[in-house]
Chains A and B, each alone.
Chain A
């Protein structure tokens, strides 16, 4: 592990010589994140490294596509008032993004039992932001509890590698379904309360009628997937 980390850091230092790396913030599923300094800014380097488990052509294709999307959509989000780290630099040939460092904690690491009312308030706000994204045809694509950072009571959305522009209700439904399922697996005993808060916020932005349509869509989506064992009869 140690060896792997240092070789990845080496890789980045060779690609981008003008950054000074301080420490490893984490290895996500896709990328390595490093706290660093660039032109005097304290910033995060997100580097999508190569995955040896997948075909190289596919690997390059995915890393490039996601770097481009992440950069582009974060910039759009900023414009429409979604709280995201500021993007400082994008290199889609080398799969690197530099962005503002948010010194907070991710939602996953919150102790829910002692922070229940705060979390509920936040989820209404998160629901509102998701509503704003959807209203602007943005699908986040990866709404998990590790992809929302809290800093001094403020929310930040990160990790837009799977995001896309779309106004399809199906995609909006999947976006919310993924977030609901994340809550259900993480905080099962509170999840129905928490889900209600998300929809409260979502409806504040999109109106009751649209919110209801998306809710119905989610019910339909949930009937597929793990409830699929009956389906193969018909295939």
Chain B
């Protein structure tokens, strides 16, 4: 059994987790930066991360009852994400690796969302809907990697709704707040429904919803209802396409939007109608978190994946389908 300490710092959240390769989570401590106004400012977020890093690290160790000496490796999410934020995690990881002479393990943030969801749901070979502030994609394992079977062509779903929320004066995270208003809406207003093959596009939808708002003809409740209904139906449809195409019988959702009851209900109904099982990752592992980096790092270290200090630079655009997954067999 391999025990790894993992550090997450790709965007809003700074987190430290401790986990073993056989799937035990010993600690998962996270702190999310909330911009006072506007969207995420990478520099401000990174300052937040630097400020809380030491406290979170200490807390994670103390909760786990491990001393850093008991740990077999230090994992860190090197991407994808925002450069300044990524560098906080990478710097801390390198420091721990050198100071305590522990191997350094590179983890792809997207792969970590997937692995924690597999662990948490117990699904062996699911189709995975990964949807968060910075990502919207459908993936599944094939020939040694997680391949992409559907994705947004422009804007991620979380970002689309967060931006809309901001425009109507609601703070981050916007998705649950827009959903609350949507629940009061009744009338469906037609909005651009943009599914292109296995892919989708959200930027036209966002622009349209904002225009409708300015027009002043419809209530905010109906606009939110129609926006959420359209956005989630599009995602459910491309998930359905991937599920039918791949002919698999498990479906899961991971990433911040996995907390959405409305979205999960749609995916569940769709999966059932195709004779597939649906389970969402638990809320505590849905958003960015340290535990997922630790657990994926433990799987990776167990398969001999490490990185030298010199090579451990951050990669803001690191694609998930570039990462070999040696701990899985077809």
**Interface residues of A, Cβ cutoff 8 Å to B:** 1, 4, 27-29, 51-55, 57-58, 61-62, 108, 141-146, 162, 174, 178-179, 181-182, 184-186, 188-189, 221, 224-233, 235
Rounded to whole Å, the gap between the CB of A14 and the closest CB of chain B is: 20
Q: Is the CB of B245 within 8 A of A144?
A: yes
Q: Is the CB of A162 within 8 A of B196?
A: yes
Q: Which residues of A contact B190 (CB under 8 A)?
A: 58, 61
CA distance A190 to B164 in the complex (A): 41
Q: Which residues of B contact A229 (CB under 8 A)?
A: 10-11, 80-82, 134-135, 316-317
Q: Is the CB of A54 within 8 A of B266?
A: yes
Q: Which residues of B contact A182 (CB under 8 A)?
A: 197-198
- Summarize B's interface: helix, strand, loop or mixed: mixed
With contacts A4-B273, A53-B269, A61-B190 known, is A181 near B148, CB below 8 A? yes
B residues 30-56 near A (Cβ < 8 Å) are 39-40, 42
**Interface residues of B, Cβ cutoff 8 Å to A:** 10-11, 39-40, 42, 80-82, 133-135, 137, 142-143, 145, 147-149, 151-156, 159, 163, 188, 190, 193, 195-199, 229-230, 233, 236-237, 240-241, 243-245, 265-267, 269-270, 273-275, 316-317, 319-321
Q: Is the CB of B147 within 8 A of A233?
A: no
Q: Which residues of B contact A225 (CB under 8 A)?
A: 151-154, 199
Q: Is the CB of A58 within 8 A of B198?
A: no
Q: Which residues of B contact A162 (CB under 8 A)?
A: 195-197
With contacts A53-B269, A188-B147, A229-B134 known, is A174 near B153, CB below 8 A? yes
Q: Is the CB of A178 within 8 A of B196?
A: yes
CA distance A109 to B159 in the complex (A): 36
Q: Is the CB of B269 within 8 A of A52?
A: yes
Q: A54-B266, A184-B321 are in contact. List 13 more A-B contacts (CB 8 A).
A: A28-B244, A29-B240, A58-B188, A146-B244, A178-B198, A182-B197, A182-B198, A185-B142, A225-B153, A229-B11, A229-B81, A233-B40, A235-B163
In the complex, the chain A residue whose C-beta lies closest to that of B244 is A29
Q: Is the CB of B152 within 8 A of A228?
A: yes
CA distance A58 to B267 in the complex (A): 17
With contacts A141-B197, A185-B148 known, is A51 near B270, CB below 8 A? yes
CA distance A121 to B137 in the complex (A): 31
CA distance A227 to B153 in the complex (A): 10
CA distance A51 to B158 in the complex (A): 24
CA distance A226 to B316 in the complex (A): 12
